[in-house]
A and B are shown apart, each in its own frame.
Chain A
Amino acid sequence: MAITLISILALSVAVYFISKLSWKVGAVINALAGAYLMIYLFTLKVGSSEVLGTLFGEKLLLTYTNASFYFSFVSMLVILAVMVFAIKWLDSQKYPSAFNMFLLMMTAASLGVFFAGDLLTLYIFWEIAVLSSMLIVPMGKKEARRAAIIYAVMSATGTYMYLYASFMIYSRYGNFNLAEVAKDLANDPSMPFKVTVYLLLAAAGIAKSGIFPLHTWLRIAHGNAPDAFSAVLSGQLVKLGSYVLMLVTAFFPTLKMFQGLELYSKIPSPNYFLLALGATSIIVGTLMAIKQDDMKMLIAFSSVANGGYILVGIATMDAIGFEGGILHVFNHALAAAIIFMAFASVVYRTHTTKISEMGGLIHKMPITFISYLFAIISLAGIPPMSGFISKWMIYQALVRKGMFVTAFIAFFGSIGSFLYVFRPLAGVFLGQLPKKYKDVKEVPAIMWIPMVTLVAISFIMGVWPFPILKPIEAMRADFAISPSVKIADASNWLVRGVTGSWNPVIVFNLFIIGFAIAYLLYTLFPKPKKVDLLAPHKEEGAPINIYTGGEYIYTPDLYQYNTKMYAGFERMYEKHPSWEKVLDMLCKFFHDLGQLVHGWFFRPSPSAYAFWTVMTLLIVFWVRW
């Protein structure tokens, strides 16, 4: 493992210089490296362990667990798709060489995070991943420069809390090793210490996966990053956060650690605190996503909400909730990656991300549209796509535990997701095509193949989810999360919950039959006459076969309904308090503090200097005498 990771890191630097000669070759090398890593994951043996090196007299450990496999697999799926996508897409970018280098570097670092067997190794790879991804972000739109800074700062806020907690652990147990730390924590008598460490470690995950108080970077970073990279950001990078959250909540035996702190339904209050944060993210993410006009920001907020689902699922500390949360990692990774790649394709052709500036692209970019459609079906949690399974599991856990408020929020997020995914669907792909996009074409095959592949995987996992549930079940067995029911019952084709089961194959077959019947009915009756949505713009203002609502339309593209789609609902919370403003105020506070320091101590005249010198002298004497 160590050699592979280090050589990939080294390769990434080489890729930069290769890309300088020809970025296409660099991109292909990237994709090959990605494919190699993907295969490599399957050759590794679960449970194997390796020493990466020594730092501060501590061994840096790489351990390959079921969780490592699962998260790395999901990551590589997304990254590999984007790498293939980038082979063509990069020609619209200004910095292809640097993009190639940092993407590969980030890939190796992310895998390092998942392989890490101790807190320090995790931190090192984490920082490399943050750094390399942070350097890709500003290659995007103009606003992306600010985004990169916000991303770096928020990420660092979480990371430094994590680091602080890691060293707290180290100074107490003399160990960074995750497995050892988990054991020590379980036997530690000091509750304040455990709670502090738990929350501080979780902070890194919270910042990274965009959970409520540190979620604001997602909007600006995902919204403005280079388009294809948003797929990695949302599909893969935020999953690093989910991984850390899983480590601290499930891998560390929190139920045992926080015995006596049970708040409700056998969930300890620290876990409940995280769960509440997750629930808050669902609300914030959903409400904000509904009102976005920028399609990338919309899905960025949806990532906030889905990060919340993952956290809620994991923090329930229930077998099915945990599996649901973990499976949601896979589902959201795929859905978000497909959606962002579809958007990248749209931007590749139209050069805008504003929903209100688009429409009717379906007839120009049908494959992109289909990919987007299937992805949102998965994202909204509608069968037969895989997204439904994880949401179903999370609901099962919430209902079984009687957590009605959280369940309410989860339902709200789910139905809210119908609202927000529909917005780009209607505004970008359906409706009238603006005249300026009349020559838009479908993206080249090398760009849509990865999208379609991911769609196919997500679809197959929705119909036959047992292969992906297998490593998750293994993870649950590793972490010994009760009750130990068999959730994936492949022999009976059943996904079992505590309160019932369902058969994805039957559901899928019903679909097929339903469609078949519908199609039969459709063909039975008279053939329709095709009318165009929009005339080919041969003659300005001439009504050529444009017939809508019983009227001839002369300016069809003005009839596109894509602004303020949910005005009635949006009005209800338009005066909402803004967390971004609160954080801005915090920034302003530090800035003003800097100004204060500057103005009082650093700017004044020499006489003031003399004054301060004497003051210091007096103060020191006063303190010490």
Chain B
Amino acid sequence: MTGVYKAIFNLAIAFFFVLTLEGIGRKITARVQRRIGPPWYQSFIDVFKALSKHPFSNGWIFDFGVLMALGGAIATAAIVPMGSTFWTPFPNTDNFFVIMYLFAVGALGMAMGMVGSGNPWASIGVTRALTQMLGYELPYLIVLASMMFYYKTASIHLLIEKQAGGWNLLVMPIGAIVAFISLLGMLGKKPFDIAIAPAEIASGPMVELSGKYLGLLHIMHVFSIFVEITLFVDVFLGGGNFWWFLLKFLIVWILAVLISSVLPRFRIEQMLKFYWGVPLGLAFLNAFFVLMGWTL
């Protein structure tokens, strides 16, 4: 039963912490661009404002897609361990692949709902997002696969435990770099915000969202960010107590925001060529090192 409480705690942290971080991220971006930027609690305001407005709906699949997206994201966020075995809600089910594919449910739900709106921009955005997935997932999965091979486990909390001797960032630095580049793609941050691309396709999937739909999807987005960064922190930045986890989370987030605030956007095939070039090569190099036992 404790698992359930921990899962609820996961969700609460995900919601409040990541929304705060989003605000901070906006602030940082603004400062990088020599603007003042919104206050740190701006994202809270955005979410609650959106939720309170009267929305338009494009039919039942639109509603269902939003529910599926949010439901999937919630289910995923509830399962991710937060930096230690103690903060692992379901130690038997925190398998990496389970989390990875659970995560896809939310993405599929969103894709389906948004295309269900009948707006071509949404469809274009979704296809771009899927193509992007093909780009960033592959190097990421190879790195993770080599790590699982190295530690002989795919369970996240066991991976955290095994890093007691040294963070994976240091054990396999190449892998960590690749995973971080993939993380940028996962987060949809620049230069990988191809799916949203406000200037090109009017925010892509989000084009038809209004009112509470926008709010709910914003929450879903928040949970997604939580899952993505938490996985990275768990797998590469070792364990520690809860506060350590939050700090590492914050640092990764800020790094991502800083990088994204100075870069322009890739085109879709540029993105694929990029991911299938250096990061994928490095991922295989990392796997090769692991096979040879040449880890630090």
Interfacial chain B residues near A527, Cβ < 8 Å: 54
Complex Cα distance, B98 from A41, in Å, reads 34
Residue-by-residue, is A172-213 near B (CB-CB < 8 Å gives 1, otherwise 0)? 000000000000000000000000000000000000000000
Which of A392, A511, A526 meets B52, CB within 8 Å? A526
Contact status of A525 and B57, CB under 8 A, knowing A426-B126, A511-B105, A569-B131: no
A430 adjacent to B61 (CB under 8 Å) = yes
Smallest CB separation, A356 vs chain B (Å): 13
A549 adjacent to B202 (CB under 8 Å) = yes
Residues of A within 8 Å of B, CB-based: how many? 82
Is B115 part of the contact surface with A, judged by Cβ < 8 Å? Answer: yes
A526 adjacent to B145 (CB under 8 Å) = no
Smallest CB separation, B94 vs chain A (Å): 8
Complex Cα distance, B90 from A36, in Å, reads 44
Complex Cα distance, B109 from A519, in Å, reads 14
Interfacial chain B residues near A430, Cβ < 8 Å: 61, 112, 115-116, 118, 123
Interfacial chain A residues near B152, Cβ < 8 Å: 400, 498-499
A501 adjacent to B95 (CB under 8 Å) = yes
Contact status of A500 and B291, CB under 8 A, knowing A382-B105, A514-B72, A518-B74: no
A400 adjacent to B149 (CB under 8 Å) = yes
Residues of B within 8 Å of A, CB-based: how many? 85
B130 adjacent to A418 (CB under 8 Å) = yes
A499 adjacent to B59 (CB under 8 Å) = no
Is A295 part of the contact surface with B, judged by Cβ < 8 Å? Answer: no
Is A534 part of the contact surface with B, judged by Cβ < 8 Å? Answer: yes
**Shortest Cβ distance from A416 into B: residue:** B134
Interfacial chain A residues near B59, Cβ < 8 Å: 362-363, 530, 532-533
Complex Cα distance, B112 from A531, in Å, reads 17
Is B155 part of the contact surface with A, judged by Cβ < 8 Å? Answer: yes
Smallest CB separation, B79 vs chain A (Å): 6
Interface segment among A255-263, A334-342, A405-413, A465-473: the answer is A405-413
Interfacial chain A residues near B28, Cβ < 8 Å: none
Smallest CB separation, A498 vs chain B (Å): 8
Smallest CB separation, A339 vs chain B (Å): 15
A415 adjacent to B133 (CB under 8 Å) = yes
Complex Cα distance, B12 from A457, in Å, reads 35
Residue-by-residue, is A408-428 near B (CB-CB < 8 Å gives 1, otherwise 0)? 100110011011001001100
Interface centre among A400, A405, A525 (most CB of B within 10 A): A525
* B201-215 at interface with A (beta carbon < 8 Å): 202, 207-208, 211-213, 215
A513 adjacent to B154 (CB under 8 Å) = no
Interfacial chain A residues near B158, Cβ < 8 Å: 500
A568 adjacent to B131 (CB under 8 Å) = yes
Interfacial chain B residues near A400, Cβ < 8 Å: 149, 152
Is B160 part of the contact surface with A, judged by Cβ < 8 Å? Answer: no
Is B265 part of the contact surface with A, judged by Cβ < 8 Å? Answer: no
Contact status of A506 and B207, CB under 8 A, knowing A499-B155, A514-B78: no
**Shortest Cβ distance from A404 into B: residue:** B287
Contact status of A501 and B102, CB under 8 A, knowing A363-B59, A425-B112, A548-B119: no
Which of B92, B95, B108, B213 meets A377, CB within 8 Å? B108
Is B232 part of the contact surface with A, judged by Cβ < 8 Å? Answer: no
Which of B96, B112, B149 meets A402, CB within 8 Å? B149
A-B residue pair count with CB separations less than 8 angstroms: 260
Is A434 part of the contact surface with B, judged by Cβ < 8 Å? Answer: no
Which of A518, A559, A568 meets B120, CB within 8 Å? A559
Smallest CB separation, B67 vs chain A (Å): 5
Complex Cα distance, B130 from A530, in Å, reads 28
Interfacial chain B residues near A492, Cβ < 8 Å: 92
B134 adjacent to A568 (CB under 8 Å) = no
Smallest CB separation, A409 vs chain B (Å): 10
Is A571 part of the contact surface with B, judged by Cβ < 8 Å? Answer: yes
Interfacial chain A residues near B155, Cβ < 8 Å: 499-501
A525 adjacent to B215 (CB under 8 Å) = yes
B128 adjacent to A419 (CB under 8 Å) = no
* B236-254 at interface with A (beta carbon < 8 Å): none
B116 adjacent to A549 (CB under 8 Å) = no
Is A515 part of the contact surface with B, judged by Cβ < 8 Å? Answer: yes
Interface centre among B111, B120, B207 (most CB of A within 10 A): B120
B121 adjacent to A549 (CB under 8 Å) = yes
Is B269 part of the contact surface with A, judged by Cβ < 8 Å? Answer: yes
Is A253 part of the contact surface with B, judged by Cβ < 8 Å? Answer: no
Which of B67, B101, B123, B269 meets A383, CB within 8 Å? B101
Which of A380, A411, A532, A569 meets B268, CB within 8 Å? A569
Contact status of A511 and B71, CB under 8 A, knowing A380-B104, A533-B58, A548-B119: yes
**Shortest Cβ distance from A525 into B: residue:** B212
Which of A416, A514, A571 meets B74, CB within 8 Å? A514
Complex Cα distance, B102 from A510, in Å, reads 10
Contact status of A528 and B57, CB under 8 A, knowing A396-B154, A499-B153, A511-B72: yes
Contact status of A494 and B118, CB under 8 A, knowing A382-B105, A547-B56: no
Is A285 part of the contact surface with B, judged by Cβ < 8 Å? Answer: no
Q: Nearest 6 pairs between A and B by C-beta?
A: A568-B268, A514-B71, A514-B74, A528-B57, A515-B71, A514-B75
16 more CB-based (< 8 A) A-B contacts, given A530-B56, A559-B118, A568-B128: A380-B104, A380-B108, A396-B97, A399-B149, A404-B146, A404-B291, A411-B141, A419-B130, A430-B123, A431-B123, A500-B158, A501-B92, A506-B3, A506-B90, A528-B213, A560-B120
Q: Chain A: residues with CB nearer than 8 A to chain B?
A: 360, 362-363, 369, 373, 377, 380-383, 388, 391-392, 395-396, 398-400, 402, 404-405, 407-408, 411-412, 415-416, 418-419, 422, 425-426, 430-432, 492, 494, 497-503, 506-507, 510-511, 513-519, 521-522, 524-534, 547-549, 556, 559-562, 565-566, 568-569, 571-572
A-B contact pairs, 29 of them (CB 8 A): A392-B98, A395-B145, A396-B154, A402-B290, A404-B142, A411-B137, A415-B137, A418-B130, A419-B127, A492-B92, A501-B92, A502-B95, A506-B3, A506-B92, A507-B75, A510-B75, A510-B79, A514-B71, A518-B68, A522-B216, A525-B215, A530-B56, A531-B56, A534-B118, A548-B118, A560-B118, A566-B130, A568-B128, A572-B269
